[in-house]
Amino acid sequence: MMVKTRSCEGITSVFRVQADSCGRLWVLDSGQIHVTVKPQQICHPKLLIFDLETDELLTKYVLPSKFVKQDGLFSNIMVDIRDNDCVNVHAYMTDVWRFAIVVFSLEKMRAWRITDHLFYPDPLAARYQLHHLEFDWTDGVFGMALSPYNKRYPDRTLYFHPMSSFREFYVKTSVICNETGWENVKDAFKVMGQSRGSSGHVSSSWIDRRGIMFFNLVTRDSVGCWDSRKPYKRSNLGVVAKSSRSLVFPNDIKIDQEPRQSVWVLSNKLPYYLYEGLDEHSINFRILSAYADEAVKDTICDPNTSKYDTYIEYESEEDC
């Protein structure tokens, strides 16, 4: 998703937003214009937090100059809020073109930039084919998802992947929320199981309360799933929706916070817009939804058919 907002005496682009359980909307402003043609960084990227009831701007945090690299692009945000604590909150923001995650602490009003070689694109996954369209992208770390919060095991897991990659990775949030110590943790960033296989490009991903990950397979016209209690391998990766008509390049995904959660998917034919232009006589943008439990019913991701009884448990380190 990309919307435009006036700030910094110009038009800047917002690619992702997230609402939290405290009634706030978190908006990541990239600070750029003409992103799809010739990107121009006209102001610093910033994080804006709005009150969803009043539309009032509650907080604005401008990323420090040292975090803004030449030809970088901040394009995704994941908000880590736990047990409705509206103060001790962290946000994770990805620099997809300069391969980093910036961690922001709302309580401290500070941020720090994290880098790792797993944030880089895989050159073997840089070639895309969407129907008849072929193109090359070298996008780094982009999609993120958080494991469910558990008071007994408060150290959540952040799953992540570069856009140009067929693999998933993960890191404990206690590591990346340590502003000064994350670099000293050996092998903190780890590879998840198997590759998703050829054309396993994923844009966004999200995990529901039961630990089921939903993810967009952008070149397969599909939405995939994975029960995080099972090993991450191709035989455990399912498909909950597929359509060459309504799911052409499913670009964004969210799961709401209702008692019965729903999965929401945005498809927008982005590569067609970039390389051929959109057909004004057809529907190019769609928002689709389904109940999460219904979506995975009778698939390999259905927890009712899982042989595992509890979520994967991680040893707790210092809470972030």
Mode of pairing for the β-strands spanning 237-242 and 250-255: unpaired
Model confidence at 228, pLDDT cuts 50, 70, 90, reads: very high
Q: List the structure tokens of 179.
A: 């502003």
pLDDT number for residue 309: 39
Model confidence at 33, pLDDT cuts 50, 70, 90, reads: confident
Contacts of 180 (CB under 8 A, 6+ apart): none
pLDDT number for residue 233: 96
Contacts of 280 (CB under 8 A, 6+ apart): none
pLDDT number for residue 307: 55
Contacts of 156 (CB under 8 A, 6+ apart): 80, 82, 146, 147, 148, 149, 172, 173
Phi first, then psi, for residue 73 (nearest 5°) are: -155, 115
| Rounded average pLDDT over 281-305 | 95
pLDDT number for residue 10: 40
Task: Name the DSSP letter for residue 251.
Answer: E
Report pLDDT digits (tens) over 206-221. 999 999 999 999 999 9
pLDDT number for residue 134: 97
Residue 313 predicted with pLDDT over 60: no
pLDDT number for residue 318: 36
Residue 2 predicted with pLDDT over 50: no
Nearest Cα to Cα of residue 318 among 158, 110, 147, 178: 178
Model confidence at 43, pLDDT cuts 50, 70, 90, reads: confident
Structural fold of domain 1-115: Thrombin, subunit H (2.40.10)
Which CATH entry fits the domain spanning 116-320: 3.40.50.300, 2.40.37.20, 2.120.10.30, 2.10.109.10?
2.120.10.30
Nearest Cα to Cα of residue 162 among 209, 128, 211: 128
Residue 73 predicted with pLDDT over 70: yes
Residue type, 77: I
Q: Are 119 and 162 in contact (CB under 8 A)?
A: yes
Q: Which residues are paired to 40 by β-bridges? A: 33
Q: Which residues are paired to 266 by β-bridges? A: 252, 287
Q: Are 18 and 31 in contact (CB under 8 A)?
A: no
Could you state, in order of their start, the residue ranges of all structural domains in the chain?
1-115, 116-320
Equal CATH topology for 1-115 and 116-320: no
% residues pLDDT > 70 (the chain): 92
Contacts of 294 (CB under 8 A, 6+ apart): none
Calpha distance 10→31 (Å, rounded): 9
| Rounded average pLDDT over 199-206 | 97
pLDDT number for residue 223: 98
| Rounded average pLDDT over 297-312 | 71
pLDDT number for residue 39: 81
Task: Name the DSSP letter for residue 22.
Answer: T
Average model confidence (pLDDT) across the chain: 91
